[in-house]
Structure 1
């Protein structure tokens, strides 16, 4: 057992960033105005049952503005607090590879043309990537930091179907296989506590994710927010849900960490939806840094660390 420079019992994102870059790096969220194949009728309608993109789009991030204008607004916002830092253009809302490939390339190049941008972080679905785009990003990675994040959300097809993702876990595996060894920093996103998933199911996600060629993992608790199908389901069929208390979530996450491949960087553990949109669970206003501190403490109490229960040849 060995801990990192922050004395964390897991690979934390902050330590990775400090090691990777010479100065502070800030992500600037961007909105391309793209949609998703489970919204526009290509694969489905209505989008994911839990999704309300207003829960994570900052005020400066409006698709009516150009990419350069959004970057300028974001940098103006963050530079008030930090005078010297570099920026990553974060294509966050909806599916950021889901458009005409020439338009996609044009927007990525516009972002990279900004003098203060040193790389891209691209959030997308595993069924919305192709070899042409992967090869384009691979070329960019020779000069810039390029992170490609796939919304895995669950490794169970029954769950993916229930939440209207309209893709399978096999498609997730295929997307990572096509993207690996291309110079890209590969990320994964997982929601803990989706309807119908047991504790065993959730811990098994850690085992399955560890088999994927991912560098970074984002975790967060299921949050039911207003103006979503899930909000209606919670009201009409509350028995569908097993929403975690903060204490139960912390306990579960520590077990999850212990099963995870030791080299995976954990970028986050929770998400904070705006209070005016959040329906449940409400954790008495616990902030991200407070939850991280509680997770750190619980790992010590249980004598757990990342990879303690990881089995390489499963």
Structure 2
């Protein structure tokens, strides 16, 4: 899951050109030689056409790129705490070094609309909140005005929500929606299934205090149109979202966020599924509530 220069946001915005937050991205240059992967192991890499690459770079990351640009802050919300935790033997594991594993803490039961709420005011709660918010902001609801408003208001600092929504309404224009394969009103063309999902792979809390936290969410995303005749096939991408959270009214809220490309693993040799298989999978498998 851009709004680059063609959207009038400046040269440092949008993930198609540089990064989600305008700085700090890395790009992986694939080897030019045939028959070797980027690790030099000789593993065969599936061929990627230029059209596929354009789809990945120009469509996949469009989902939440506008959010990060519009929501970029000055970084003043971060706390000074180290975010370290006990690793079970009485020693500190260091900032953000806990594995993404069960902690024995029950998943949150609260809901703010369709989004989990009521996260604990600690490292585990901040990591869980950041993961859940990444999922919501990468969902297909962001392509429709009313659901987008609900998502942004449920996940963000109320003092920034209105300004962010104004920018997003302009970003998700009829022309943009048409460019990603949807109808100008955001509806899906007949016979196709629109896919937009973000799946966190892991989280890292890099800063933590009683009232603020910074969490990195390493994620993979899916976006595209599944179905026979689709010109925007469902593709995958990898990215890391950095969320600066504030403790507001008993829960974590996003004060600002940014996104960078990767880390991206080498593609395997899995056979690409048919458009019909992808559509059935999207319709048959729901998402997750993240808590640990």
More helix by percentage: 1
TM-score (norm 2): 0.22
More strand by percentage: 2
TM-score (norm 1): 0.21
Higher relative contact order (CA 8 A, sep 6+): 2
